[in-house]
Chain A
């Protein structure tokens, strides 16, 4: 019997292929006779289209066909993206049409699709399509957009309020009436996009013989793509196959379904030739969903000991021009705010504003970093006003282990009451403080200040609902060759599913992970699936692999018992063979698999069903709640506004770890995105809602010198919600990062009494604050 695979730091099976250039990403597809597509997109944030003229473009070399809304089949002219996740709070669920020919509502909205022999020629022709626009004012800033005088995002709508809802519990009014201390403040938090290094892309091919359209898409969720193609185009489900090949990063935006994913298969079928569309970086800035602004106008009430009494306020969320994912992001924001604290009363009213920008849908963290930023700023303010240490006020309010499971009093996005299933919040905070040497910091700070250096420390906690339903299934099959295969629906965009799912399975058959093949992200390989988002694959697919592997194992033992004429209870599986304990009798899994294929004319051994395989669709009863604490030390140059992250410590509890090596990488990568959100990443729009930061020279991603090493420690509180005890791990690093980094910057600048209520924080904002405070002093 080999080393135990589950829980081991196994290096990834995915890597050799990717390290030698043998990966297969969407743009790597080269099919015979393949055509290439380019889009004509609105250059204006808001305009009425008066006329579209494609006659010059059609004459361009290599052009095969150009599609506008009027070239689509009648039944598709007004079809919109299906409304994925309705909610009664949504009053104006605008959805995008396949191609727009009346009113464009964001810069980047597709108007025409050019198909040509090469992308170069397609782009040439796209520039020759003449669109006559009547330019309209755009609803830009989401706060102003809700004012009566604001330009309308959609001309025929009464106002720009897309949704409105209230969450809360407890008696907020009396909490504030009886408070020892209250503090109110407005926060602006901007989150940017996913900006995977691989852009989106779609290749589609119609096979006339089988009457099947195969779609390769750089998506996190091939089953969602398939469902939407079927819904929008009215095609039969078994005539569509969607494959997510190697995907070069996802981070949320590739979860969501886009019009391009319906248009490309539509034209491939129409033209009878494969068609490829690869999003370029400019399109990515314009037309791939992102997160953006939230304004939080908040108030906190505490007693004399710093114990929380209540939090109340209002939040405004920028949702863009369309709502393909409903109000998932702002709803998660609203329900994340209480975090790991005993918060007796809470009330938040949220206004979702329609703006003339690309849609907002979840990006890694999905609305949580904003809520954590607001809550943790409030905690810092209360601490400062009471003269309490910032870590101490948090310690006093943390939910204790004996309070688990802890019912919060809110309903989560999964429709279930929010009940924290497990977790040791005090220990997590303690571990992070230890890792960041919080105790020794004030001494370090004194020394630094004596040298004229300004260092500061910050802390932030969070709780995150992970592992959301409905399900993600897995088939485990042992081939007659003995090869063990796992099939699952979610795509992999860097998470290492092959390795981790193999680790869940390997021990059941006493083999190493290298003996297991994992095929993911292909609707042709398993009947149902959902997708890779919301930190859900380890929980859902992992549990399904576990259950299916157990069933296959039991079946193998049952059949082997019959073959070897031994008792099942005496049998075990070692090194890929079923053995009778204490004897040298054994039969290989390959022989068992052959046996259950059957022999013509004979019964199956042991009366079992054919095939050595099992499929499970694990569906969790509710989310499992992951949590963590970040402690960050920074140095700030008050003259230039430069921030250097000196130390980054993170205690992270995602339950049982399948592969600590992989989880560490998830946390480190997630933190880097949080660093971007704290200091660099800002999607800028002008006053008329036209995007300004549309290159990587303007929208700044963290590069290696700006990104800290992250010291990660794991607190493992297994969840009772699934058989593995695992929780999601993909987003936790991002969630408290901006809150902790900005807390540390404030601390570094405490001689100037600087208070920061915004993220991202640019160097000029820092210098501005330092100079303003200097002037006051």
Chain B
């Protein structure tokens, strides 16, 4: 299990990096390495060129844009975890990041890497989907923005081209006091979840749900917004009965399956976790009103 031969590049600027991407036909970008390196060691990928972007300082920031937080593609998961700004403005991301892998992998793993790898049950793509993030990708001579909803093209396949790389992620903020919950079920602590549910709610003073975002990970080929659940929540008053009933709609999602987790089980978990996520998020949005799911 040793990496195959390749030519190594470590550009110092984004221009240099996208220039290499443009020139090399069979290149791979090495970000945090937590997914690419195992694939190299197992020789599941055989690139001719590896472009290490760890020395590009421009990609390691978190910026407050007022209505959004903007992240450099190489921001490390641990930096997100320890950012007060994130904890304060995107509490969903903070809750999710604590469930990403292990400390050693969060020290290296990056936001941009996670979006490029696009594992269907990874936490950061789910959060990006839930928050309607916009991803900026650059190539030689240009940049473009991709709405998170348009990023997944299929199982672990982002829609950007081979000569493009993720440079920035813009995550719009929800108003202060919104409800949030990131709940997932994994076999062991730190494993990729079998299924996750990311919930965002705005709740009026009277307890009515005015805005909802529900994203299920690990069920479809990529994180999915469950609009049937979102639509059913709008204008309703949060209650255990409502959440239990509405979360059942997750069973209609077309689900993947493998030997470890059959399709029905992923759908079932999606319903259970969404129900729990809704209760938790609603409670947070309404000053701790307990929703007793029995």
Contacts and interface: CB of A to CB of B under 8 A. Distances in A.
Interface of A: 119-120, 123-124, 127, 280-282, 452, 639-640, 642, 680, 684, 692, 695, 697-698, 700, 702-706, 762-764, 767-768, 771
A-B CB proximity, top 10 nearest: A764-B265, A705-B189, A280-B1, A639-B272, A120-B2, A640-B185, A123-B2, A703-B188, A684-B259, A706-B188
B282 interface: no
A281 B1 contact: yes
Nearest to A702: B188
Nearest to A771: B268
Contact of B268 (A119, A700, A767): A767
Contacts of B118: none
Given A124-B4, A692-B259, A763 B43 contact: no
Given A120-B2, A640-B269, A764 B188 contact: no
A642 B294 contact: no
B42 A282 contact: yes
Interface in B204-262: 259-262
A681 to B, nearest CB: 11
B188 A705 contact: yes
B1 A680 contact: no
Contacts of A763: 185, 187, 194, 265
B192 interface: yes
A120 B2 CA distance: 6
Contact of B43 (A119, A127, A695): A127
Contacts of A642: 185
A698 B260 contact: yes
Contacts of B175: none
A762 B260 contact: yes
A700 B1 contact: no
A700 B188 contact: yes
B154 interface: no
Contacts of A695: 42
A771 B262 CA distance: 14
B260 A697 contact: no
B177 interface: no
Nearest to B268: A767
Nearest to A704: B189
Contacts of B192: 697
25 contacts: A120-B2, A120-B3, A123-B1, A123-B43, A124-B4, A127-B4, A282-B42, A640-B273, A642-B185, A680-B187, A680-B188, A684-B260, A692-B259, A697-B191, A698-B260, A702-B188, A703-B189, A705-B188, A706-B188, A762-B260, A764-B260, A764-B261, A764-B265, A767-B265, A768-B265
Contacts of A684: 259-260
Contacts of B2: 119-120, 123
B250 to A, nearest CB: 13
Nearest to B261: A764
Interface string B1-31: 1111100000000000000000000000000
A280 B41 CA distance: 10
Nearest to A282: B1
Given A119-B2, A640-B272, 4 more contacts: A124-B4, A127-B43, A640-B273, A763-B185
Select the residue from B3, B42, B189, B259 with max chain A CB neighbours within 10 A: B259
A359 to B, nearest CB: 23
Nearest to B2: A120
Contacts of B185: 640, 642, 763
A512 B22 CA distance: 70
A119 B43 CA distance: 14
B190 A703 contact: yes
A700 B189 CA distance: 11
Contact of B189 (A697, A706, A771): A706
Nearest to A119: B2
A223 B14 CA distance: 60
A677 to B, nearest CB: 15
Interface in B260-281: 260-262, 265, 268-269, 272-273
Contacts of B273: 640
A182 B116 CA distance: 59
A762 B189 CA distance: 15
Given A282-B1, A639-B272, A764 B43 contact: no
Contacts of A762: 260
A678 to B, nearest CB: 13
A452 B259 contact: no
Nearest to A682: B260
A705 B191 CA distance: 12
Given A639-B272, A767-B268, A700 B187 contact: yes
Nearest to A685: B259
Nearest to B192: A697
A703 B188 CA distance: 7
Contacts of A124: 4-5
Select the residue from A120, A764, A768 with max chain B CB neighbours within 10 A: A764
Contacts of B260: 684, 698, 762, 764
A111 B126 CA distance: 45
Contacts of B188: 680, 700, 702-703, 705-706
A452 B187 CA distance: 22
Contacts of B194: 763
Interface string B166-201: 000000000000000000010111111010000000
B103 to A, nearest CB: 13
A582 to B, nearest CB: 64
Contacts of A127: 4, 43
Contacts of A281: 1
